[in-house]
Structure 1
């Protein structure tokens, strides 16, 4: 009897302890993200709107510097300290997390039906059978410009690279503004705002991207070398000390009205809307000589997945389902202008600059960054390689030809195109 009573008490204690641990996790979610400049919007707009539907679920938004996010997230996931909801990079980086069983498949969520296949492809297995992140938004690359600066020199947005360089020469001669506002200290800007921004016009968007994957084209081909040659010509227009200029420095320089042209991602719109006191326009990447068809990097950029080790998956799924609603699509697109909805919901973009950039889809063909799908799965990491060589080319430390050769040689070390 005494032994039986002791076991009963012990069992009751274990049940109570388990219930206490479950209660400690219930109603609390943590989001991991690289969007460190969006924290106020998440905390003051997005999360409070979610809480109108689920007032008992506490959500914490935790951001890491963009360039450090992948490494930091991997360390947290490996160490068991990552949040419940994981903001997902597109394609290979997140696919690897799913393959390591660190992200759950989400095909049991009804909200995935609200997205077209092209949106889900960025966060699905190669065979398309499993989707592991809820799509959120895409971003578009191009150039933003200070309308006052263009007015001062009598310039209109350029349509060709020849017109682009003519404007740069006039801006430099005038001397009032830094013609091109970009630095190379962070490296990623040189590739993302430079190489992947103007490049699609040279390699013909999806045609070139798919040719790289199939092995029919290489980074040593003339179209890719031509992109680096163009980037090399930017250096004289980028201002003194651009080699030490970080992304935040570039944003600040443009916001203060001291620069004329900002090689941009649409994600920067909200930053400039908050800080800049002058009219801002935008134009798509100018066309190389002789070309008439334009291409834009319209990149499936951000999604959200479920940490396979989360202790509160039920509430996490409620949050993910909410991300699939028209309410979130409209809220996100207008709270963060420049992040364009991927869902089938009809959303009216209120910010005129964001609406202008989104309008480029009607005249230019869309593609994604050519380093993101399949080609970024090995070592050395292709994305980081493009950051490095693009920065070196602009710095004058590497020739365009050497850049193409280094990238292709390192890609050849591990990637063998399917025959």
Structure 2
């Protein structure tokens, strides 16, 4: 009897071990962020797997420029991974509408995100969510603290103070006041127009009114940012018209410019290049006491392949992405890419912390052209690029730029007709 019982127990143990092994799941993650492979392998994956035995993660990125094509071909062939890293807005919405991204609206972790955070990965009516928001980038101005001390200026809070600082730096003559060029076009729109613009159109209030057709690009809140841009040219330095985006980065990090109109993605790169202390300030408001608005732009999300055979494990991972633990790991590994969840997070990098602190002072919005309004021809995002450049160079008046963009939008977008 004892021998039989022992054999039975050994068989049962073997069977249980085999069952546990059979239940192990490997989730493959598709992504265009091939620059953060080491962060996934060294930090994110070990942290998740330690908490979730039985679920393994495999991070398999593609080159950024090839990601959309590679992912679409894999999805069509049925060979795509379980987890899909999502670009914001139309590219991911097209994947959802094609049946490739699962509806995760009811996922428990989605409760940790605001409507603005979710807007990059939801249907136009916001009724369905198909990706968990992972990170945003915040716009503002990075400045050289040594230059400010030498010239004797302080961080400006209002538009008048901003131009007074620029005047004083220009008068001092040792620094280009601002490092930004117009050669690459997107720079002028992204770090110019959509950086300062939310203070004029009141962030989400104006952005959503434009989508609804209740405001037009010829209205004052949309023309006024061009008026400010039209005053930037004298402060951008000689030859700004031919200056590329990498040129601007170099001019600032080499200590030749005092201010850099920025996206927070610059933080980690600038930390390794600049040998001076940097600070950051949010776009100055028009008048003291005004509510400030920042472009806190949805940049990267993550969703579930609708065809995955491992849906429950995938949901477990996506819920973890909405946690404070993931947010803390991701934000500190990639300073300048900020978690979008309401979960508390402490950033170790002082410059990144300065950017994210603005969420407590200002209202967050996203870039005005990214949701819905750039689906037609002419493309409003691209038109905003060339309008921003034309206004800075004095080739088009702010009013004419607004009129041209409004006519283009109204030509294909029904709510603006």
TM-score for the superposition, normalised by structure 2 = 0.81
Question: What 5-or-longer segments of structure 2 have no aligned partner?
Answer: 1-24
Q: Is 1:172 equivalent to 2:170 in the alignment? A: yes
- Contact 2:166 2:235 (8 Å CA) reproduced: yes
- Residues 395 and 31 of structure 1, relative CA distance in 2, 3 Å threshold: farther
Q: Is 1:208 equivalent to 2:206 in the alignment? A: yes
Paired residues, what number?
Answer: 388
- Contact 2:62 2:70 (8 Å CA) reproduced: no
Cα shift at 1:77: 4.3
- Contact 1:87 1:302 (8 Å CA) reproduced: yes
Cα shift at 1:369: 1.7
- Residues 225 and 117 of structure 1, relative CA distance in 2, 3 Å threshold: closer
Across the aligned residues of Structure 1 and Structure 2, the Cα RMSD in angstroms comes to 3.1
Cα shift at 1:292: 2.7
- Contact 2:183 2:241 (8 Å CA) reproduced: yes
Give SS of 2:265's match. helix
Matching residue of 2:229: 231
* Alpha-carbon distance in structure 2 between the residues aligned to 1:311 and 1:396: 57
1:8-407 aligned within 5 A: 27=26, 29-33=28-32, 35=33, 38=36, 40-42=38-40, 44-50=42-48, 52=50, 56-64=56-64, 69=65, 72-80=66-74, 84=81, 85-107=83-105, 109-288=107-286, 292-308=290-306, 319-407=317-405
Cα shift at 1:188: 1.9
Give SS of 1:417's match. helix
* Alpha-carbon distance in structure 1 between the residues aligned to 2:240 and 2:35: 22
- Residues 46 and 56 of structure 1, relative CA distance in 2, 3 Å threshold: closer
* Alpha-carbon distance in structure 2 between the residues aligned to 1:46 and 1:250: 33
* Alpha-carbon distance in structure 2 between the residues aligned to 1:360 and 1:109: 29
Cα shift at 1:400: 2.1
- Residues 409 and 102 of structure 1, relative CA distance in 2, 3 Å threshold: farther
Cα shift at 1:213: 1.8
Cα shift at 1:191: 1.3
Cα shift at 1:147: 0.3
Cα shift at 1:399: 2.9
- Residues 380 and 325 of structure 1, relative CA distance in 2, 3 Å threshold: same
* Alpha-carbon distance in structure 2 between the residues aligned to 1:299 and 1:171: 30
* Alpha-carbon distance in structure 1 between the residues aligned to 2:250 and 2:351: 19
- Contact 1:181 1:253 (8 Å CA) reproduced: yes
CA deviation string 1:127-152 (max 9, x = no partner): 44421111112332111100001111
Give SS of 1:387's match. helix
- Contact 1:29 1:316 (8 Å CA) reproduced: no
Matching residue of 1:10: none
- Contact 1:149 1:177 (8 Å CA) reproduced: yes
Matching residue of 2:5: none
Give SS of 2:279's match. strand
Matching residue of 2:22: none
- Residues 295 and 120 of structure 1, relative CA distance in 2, 3 Å threshold: closer
- Residues 180 and 312 of structure 1, relative CA distance in 2, 3 Å threshold: farther
Give SS of 1:196's match. helix
- Contact 2:29 2:57 (8 Å CA) reproduced: no
Question: What 5-or-longer segments of structure 1 have no aligned partner?
Answer: 1-25
- Residues 386 and 310 of structure 1, relative CA distance in 2, 3 Å threshold: farther
- Residues 196 and 271 of structure 1, relative CA distance in 2, 3 Å threshold: same
CA deviation string 1:199-228 (max 9, x = no partner): 111122222222212222211122222211
* Alpha-carbon distance in structure 1 between the residues aligned to 2:119 and 2:104: 13
TM-score for the superposition, normalised by structure 1 = 0.81
CA deviation string 1:164-210 (max 9, x = no partner): 12221222232322211122233222111111110111122222222
